[in-house]
Each structure stands twice: as structure tokens, then as C-alpha cells.
Amino acid sequence: MFPAYEANLDWAHAQDAADPLGAFRDEFLIPPHEGHDSVYFCGNSLGLQPRAVREAVNAELDYWGELGVEGHFKGRLPWMDYHEFVRDGLAEVVGAQPSEVVAMNTLGVNLHLMMVSFYRPTPERHAILIEAGAFPTDRYAVESQIRFHGFSPALSLIELQGDEPNGTISLAAIERVLAEHGSRIALVMLPGVQYRSGQALDLKAITELAHQHGCTVSFDLAHAVGNLPLQLHDSGADFAIWCSYKYLNSGPGAVGGAFVHERHAKAVLPRFAGWWGHDKNTRFQMGPEFVPTAGADGWQLSNPPILALAPLRVSLEIFRRAGMARLREKSLQLTGYLEWLVRTQLENVLDVVTPAESERRGAQLSIRVIGGRERGRALFEYLMEHGIIGDWREPDVIRISPAPLYNRFADCLAFAEAVQAWSHIG
């Protein structure tokens, strides 16, 4: 049983010393601040660089220099099959079969590509359901797809309003909106973790509800992949998309990923076709007819970007060694400690937006400063000036995300002590 929390440095150091995952921190580059490591709580926005990334990218540069075009077929990891070298790792992280996942493009591109296949509106069923306050990528994409198909967002975009304190969403609210509008909803597009509130949604329960109403179901997992143990295959979702630069630590603008459930593996679906999605066995025959590879690979357009995939390969190897179950266990402890510090030491300064139930959140706590936006902004800037790096989301939320691969209990305590110091001077 994990010991009771204490708000002192000796206790925090003792937990960090006993942490079975503690050594993974040394595999990352921690941004410095005034001669020391910063306290980095921004892995939900941009994960830290694994130290092994530089060597991995340089190795591909060396192969390029030494082998030229033959690097596609020679070397330790031939480029021709490079996207396949991350497939098993991705499948493990998201809880899918290897054939159901592919690393390609970026999140916004993948969302549009998937909607070409899975958003097929009719005069009777044309609406898309998203959450109110969805991340702009999702909002812009679904609005533009609705218009592209000749419908109006005023009629065809349904925004699910939060019905709980702080704007979080109950399963009952989803059930109600499906009962009212399910017959005209073509696509449900919800987040795995809502970016502003940090709420984790129940993918399987949502999928089952929406499928009962004949809706196609998809998830944006930008803030969930590498954060929560996902069981995408078992959830039954039709498709999902994600980026890899947050918890997957694959670098700014990293190659994203997509999931397509196996029941669609060989389905004849409309899609934007590309050469690299063609059946691998006949791809180089250069025939005029597109024959898609079965599974998620069939949605690829172009050959994989090797230099961009190398960091993802490194990161997924770290995840393989750490294990999602162990990472989740540590994440629950770290985020639980951070919440305990806020509620017991900072109750007159901060409010927690993220649900208190551990199963309804990941590694992120979204907080508001009591007293309004201007005080919140002042605290955020104070933290940044003192080397405690979170991020700000309008209108008034500070997001603090203790990532279990490199954050420590001492980091959580440092955050609480910095907020206390600011409250005494502010």
C-alpha cells in the first residue's frame, strides 16, 4: 500500500528514491533553469527529448550519407519498412492489434483522411457530435467537412455541453444527446482526454452507446496516447487519431498516428488513396489500379519520413521497457499527490477543474486561481519565471501535468511551495 502523503521534502525524496521507474528520468534531457533542472510539467503539450534520439537520427543521416538510395534496402533498419518498426510499439501503447495502427502524417491530416472514409453524410443522417470547447483542430476539421459535403454547421454540428461542475461531461449527458439526436448523427468525434479540463472519457461506454444509435465513433487521443492505458480494439471505436509529440515524446510536429478497427480492414470504403497505401506485394509494379493494404496501412499516402520516425521509435522503446501498467500506477500516485497538495496546502489559492476520480483523469490537473483570470495569469508567469513550466489555456486554466517517465514527487512539492510563496507576496 502506498504510504500516506506528506508535504515535506524528505518524504518526497524518499518516494522518488524508491520509485522503480525513477531511472527513466535520466534518459531525458531536462531543460535547465539558472543552473538547475527546471520543473517540467508540460509533457501534455510537448514531451521532453529522450537522450537516445540524437544518436538515432544521426544513424539515419549516416546511412543516407554512406548508402544513398540503397538505404531503403540496407542498413540496420531499412527505410522501405521503417514505419513497420514502430507498429508493434504503437499497438501496445494504444491497446490495438498491430494491423489496426499506423504512424503517418500529423493529427489534423489524419483526421481529415479518416473522415473521408468514415463521415458519409446523408440527408437523414448528417450531423457530427463534438464536445463544446473542442480543440480547434477538431472543430475546424469537422466544420470544414460538413461544409465540404454541402451541409451547414448551424444544423449539422452538435456541441455536447458539460453538465458537471467546471464543465466536465457525464456519461448521462452523452446518453441524453444521443437519445435526442442519435438518428441524425453520422459521426461522434470526442476526445480521449479533454485538453482544457483534463477529463478522461470512457471510450468503450461511449462507443457502445453511439453504436446503438447507428453512429460511427471516433476519438481524438492527442492527450490520451502515452498517458492512459487505452484499449482501442476492445472499445470497438471505428477509428482514432493522435499526435506523438506530447506524452510520446517524439519531438515538435512529430509523426502522428491512426487506428482503424479490424472490422474495417478489408472494407470497400471511399478514401484518398496514395502510393504507400497500396498493397505492399504489388506496390512497385506501378499499376494504375489502387489496391489498398488491408488494415490501417491502407490509409497511408506517401512513403514514411525516416528522420521524423526515428524519435518515435526511440520513445516507443522506452514505453516498452517501462510498461503502460507501471506508468499508469506511478501516474496515479504523482497526480494524486499533486491534487492532495492543492486541496490541503493551497485550498484558498487554487481550484481543481479536473475530475477528482482517478479513473476520470490522466496525468494532467487543470487548475484555476481563486480571484479570477488576472491572478491566474500572474501566477502562471511567476511559475515560469521560477523554472516551473506548465502551460496556460484560455480563458483561465493552468495545466500542470506530472509525466511519470520523468517527473518526481519532489517536482509536485516544488510546485506547491512556489504557489505558496507567490500567494504570500501576491
Task: Report DSSP letters for 316-345, one per residue.
Answer: HHHHHHH-HHHHHHHHHHHHHHHHHHHHHH
Residue 1 has pLDDT above 70, yes or no: no
254: enclosing H helix or E strand:
none
List b or e across 347-369, with b for residues whose CB sees 16 or more CB atoms inside 10 angstroms: eebbebbbbeeeebbbbbbbbbb
Distance CA 49, CA 259 (A): 25
Q: Is the dihedral of CA 41, 43, 46, 49 positive or negative?
A: positive
Cell, residue 311: 524519435
Q: For residue 325, what is its C-alpha cell?
A: 501498467
pLDDT digits (tens, 9 = 90+) for 280-318: 999 989 999 999 999 999 999 999 999 999 999 999 999
Confidence class of residue 188 from pLDDT cuts 50, 70 and 90?
Answer: very high
The CATH classification of domain 9-49+323-425, taken from the options 3.90.1150.10, 3.50.30.30, 3.40.50.970, 1.10.10.10: 3.90.1150.10
pLDDT tens digits, one per residue of 26-58 = 999 999 999 999 999 999 999 999 999 999 999
| 84 three-state secondary structure | helix
- Indicate if the alpha-carbon torsion angle 273, 274, 280, 283 is positive or negative: positive
Angle between helices 409-425 and 9-18 (to 10 degrees): 160
Which pLDDT belongs to residue 75? 86
Specify burial of residue 92 (Cβ count, 10 A radius: 0-12, 13-18, 19+): middle
Asked whether 359 and 204 are in contact (CB, 8 A), the reply is: no
Does residue 391 have a pLDDT over 90?
Answer: yes
Query: Closest Cα to residue 262, out of 227, 230, 298?
Result: 298
Per-residue pLDDT, averaged over 197-211, amounts to 98
- Mean pLDDT across the stretch 230-248? 98
Q: Side by side, which strands form the sheet with 239-242?
A: 101-103, 257-260, 239-242, 216-220, 185-191, 127-131, 157-160
Across all residues in the chain, what is the average pLDDT?
96
Fold of 77-320: Aspartate Aminotransferase; domain 2 (3.40.640)
b or e along 315-334 (b: 16 or more beta carbons within 10 Å of the residue's beta carbon)?
bbbbbeebebeebbbbbbbb
The vertex-107 CA angle with 245 and 109, nearest 5°, equals 140
Q: Is the pTM of this model over 0.85?
A: yes
In whole angstroms, what is the distance from residue 420 CA to residue 414 CA?
10
- The span from the CA of 182 to the CA of 178, in Å, is 4
d(CA 260, CA 102): 9
pLDDT bin (cut points 50, 70, 90) of residue 2 is very low
Q: What is the DSSP letter of 163?
A: -
Integer Cα distance of 358 and 81 in angstroms: 39
Whether the per-residue pLDDT at 334 is higher than 50: the answer is yes
Give the E-state strand segments of 62-172 in sequence order: 101-103, 127-131, 157-160
Distance CA 154, CA 391 (A): 32
Rounded to 10°, the helix 87-94/306-322 angle is 50
Q: Determine the straight-line distance between the first and last CA of the chain, rounded to whole angstroms.
A: 39
Tell me the C-alpha distance between 26 and 16, whole Å.
13
Helix, coil or strand: residue 293 = coil
> So what's the pLDDT on residue 219?
98
Mapping DSSP onto H, E and C, the string for 201-235 reads CCHHHHHHHHHHCCCEEEEECCCCCCCCCCCHHHH
**Is residue 151's pLDDT more than 80?**
yes
Provide CATH 3.90.1150.10 ranges for the chain.
Answer: 9-49+323-425
> Is the predicted pLDDT of residue 227 greater than 90, yes or no?
yes
- Mean pLDDT of the 372-396 span: 96
* HSE-up (13 A, CA, CB side) for residue 240: 34
Crossing angle (nearest 10°) for helices 324-345 and 306-322: 80
Q: Looking at the chain, which residues constitute the CATH 3.40.640.10 domain(s)?
A: 77-320
